[in-house]
């Protein structure tokens, strides 16, 4: 899953804006258009993997149409393939150097890859090409923050091969204080909610215990029967429209003050993204629980490595059973060596 800021910055590249034979200012053969249509349908159903496949077919047939590369990039970012986004946007830029859409697409991908100087340059180029874009203030804010990070000498993303501490502390250090341990965790009973299965609560419980074990004693957990007594409260929902980002696998929101973390709320959907799709598998639920618990424990960003549980991607893209990696463990341990610093008081971690 992406951070809210990054995915919102990318909204300009919405594939649904194209018509059947005219894409942006380009005209494409009907055969290509059919793949574009399939890609758009997949993207509308949030089947980004399917959309990538269809848009790739379109690009293969009409490689000289910049809009098709931008469309492909727009769904690649949803699968966490940031290098792929850079590649496709660069192809679009080579074909049409002053296409603002390509520049607005490549910026967040550079940012996710920790290439901040390139991200700043891309955002500046976008503002130059589309000065009246309604999202301009967001791009300006992103530039300001990235420039401040560069100046402060803050570790850049992916600077340590053994952990991803730099990525999960991009807006401060949001670990819980030692005095709060053991953290009191409440898990709601979802009985009666369509799609909910009792095994989900067991998976959530197991996932908390796995993070506690991975933290090597730095995070401890006790389960409590009442929400009002909890530090972290976990609930279930079958209404994705209530999520900050409706296509997220789950949602975790920390409430913080200047002193430290006060509370965290985790909400996990118990219905699949595609209402007509297969029910959520235990493996996918396990991946979602581990990921959202990581956010609730203070990881506000994402790993750039697809095998880590804190990688920003839909869990349906994970090929293996969910399990914390050595890097997940090293990161939670390193995070809890640090002291709470909130540089963005109302940060949310979807
Ligand atoms: Zn996430």
C-alpha 76 – ligand 1 centre gap (Å): 16
Neighbours of 243 (CB within 10 A): 16
Q: Each residue of 33-76: pLDDT tens digit?
A: 999 999 999 888 888 888 999 999 999 999 999 999 999 999 99
C-alpha 290 – ligand 1 centre gap (Å): 10
Q: Each residue of 318-332: pLDDT tens digit?
A: 556 889 999 999 999
C-alpha 46 – ligand 1 centre gap (Å): 16
Listing from the earlier edge strand, what are the strands of the sheet with 251-256?
A: 221-223, 183-187, 232-237, 261-269, 251-256
Q: Residue 49's closest CA among 299, 244, 277?
A: 277
| pTM, two decimal places | 0.64
Sign of the four-CA dihedral 32, 33, 39, 42: negative
C-alpha 312 – ligand 1 centre gap (Å): 5
C-alpha 313 – ligand 1 centre gap (Å): 8
C-alpha 2 – ligand 1 centre gap (Å): 6
Query: First vs last Cα of the chain: how many Å apart?
Result: 7
C-alpha 265 – ligand 1 centre gap (Å): 14
Phi-psi region of 216 (alpha: psi -120 to 50; beta: other; left: phi over 0): left
C-alpha 19 – ligand 1 centre gap (Å): 33
C-alpha 191 – ligand 1 centre gap (Å): 26
What are the chain's domains? 20-152 (1.25.40.10), 165-349 (3.40.390.10)
C-alpha 94 – ligand 1 centre gap (Å): 32
> CB of 208 within 8 A of CB of 162?
no
* Backbone phi, psi, residue 117, to 5°: -65, -40
C-alpha 309 – ligand 1 centre gap (Å): 9
Give residues with Cβ within 8 angstroms of 291, minimum separation 6. 1, 249, 250, 309, 310, 315
Q: Residue 250's closest CA among 202, 307, 193, 310?
A: 310
Strand ranges, E, within 9-86: 22-23, 26-27
Rg of the Cα atoms in the chain = 21
Report the run of H or E that residue 186 belongs to, with start and end. Answer: strand 183-187
- Going residue by residue through the chain (350 aa), what tens digit of pLDDT does each one get? 322 222 223 322 333 334 447 777 888 888 899 999 999 998 888 888 889 999 999 999 999 999 999 999 999 988 878 888 998 999 999 899 899 999 999 998 888 877 888 899 999 999 999 999 888 888 898 899 888 878 876 666 666 789 999 888 877 899 999 999 999 999 999 999 989 999 999 999 999 999 999 999 999 999 999 999 999 999 999 887 777 665 567 889 999 888 899 999 999 998 887 778 788 889 989 999 999 999 999 998 888 777 889 987 655 545 568 899 999 999 999 999 999 987 754 434 44
SS3 for 252? strand
C-alpha 210 – ligand 1 centre gap (Å): 18
C-alpha 334 – ligand 1 centre gap (Å): 19
C-alpha 287 – ligand 1 centre gap (Å): 11
SS3 for 221? strand
């Amino acid at each position: 899953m992406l951070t809210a800021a990054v995915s919102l910055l990318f909204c300009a590249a919405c594939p649904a804006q194209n018509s059947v034979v005219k894409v942006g200012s380009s005209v494409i053969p009907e055969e290509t258009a059919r793949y574009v249509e399939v890609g758009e349908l997949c993207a509308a159903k949030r089947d980004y993997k399917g959309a990538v496949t269809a848009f790739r077919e379109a690009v293969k047939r009409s490689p000289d149409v910049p809009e098709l590369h931008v469309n492909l990039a727009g769904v690649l970012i949803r699968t966490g393939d940031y290098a792929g986004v850079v590649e496709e946007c660069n192809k679009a830029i080579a074909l049409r150097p002053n296409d603002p859409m390509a520049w607005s697409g490549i910026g967040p991908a550079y940012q996710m890859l920790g290439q901040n100087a390139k991200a700043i340059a891309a955002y500046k180029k976008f503002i130059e090409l589309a000065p009246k874009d309604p999202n301009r203030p967001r791009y300006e804010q992103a530039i300001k923050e990235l420039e401040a990070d560069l100046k402060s000498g803050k570790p850049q993303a992916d600077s340590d091969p053994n952990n991803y501490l730099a990525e999960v502390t991009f807006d401060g250090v949001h670990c819980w204080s030692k005095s709060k341990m053991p953290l009191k965790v409440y898990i709601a009973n979802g009985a009666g909610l369509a799609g909910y299965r009792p095994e989900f609560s067991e998976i959530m419980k197991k996932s908390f215990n796995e993070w506690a074990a991975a933290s090597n004693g730095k995070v401890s957990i006790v389960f409590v029967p009442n929400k009002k007594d909890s530090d972290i409260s976990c609930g279930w929902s079958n209404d994705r429209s209530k999520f900050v980002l409706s296509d997220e696998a789950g949602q975790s929101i920390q409430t913080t003050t200047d002193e430290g973390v006060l509370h965290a709320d985790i909400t996990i959907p118990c219905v699949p993204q595609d209402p007509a799709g297969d029910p959520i598998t235990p493996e996918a639920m396990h991946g979602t629980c581990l990921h959202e618990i990581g956010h609730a424990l203070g990881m506000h960003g994402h790993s750039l490595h697809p095998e880590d549980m804190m990688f920003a991607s839909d869990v349906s893209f994970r090929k293996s059973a969910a399990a914390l990696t050595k890097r997940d463990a090293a990161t939670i341990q390193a995070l809890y060596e640090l002291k709470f610093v909130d540089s963005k008081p109302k940060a949310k971690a979807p």
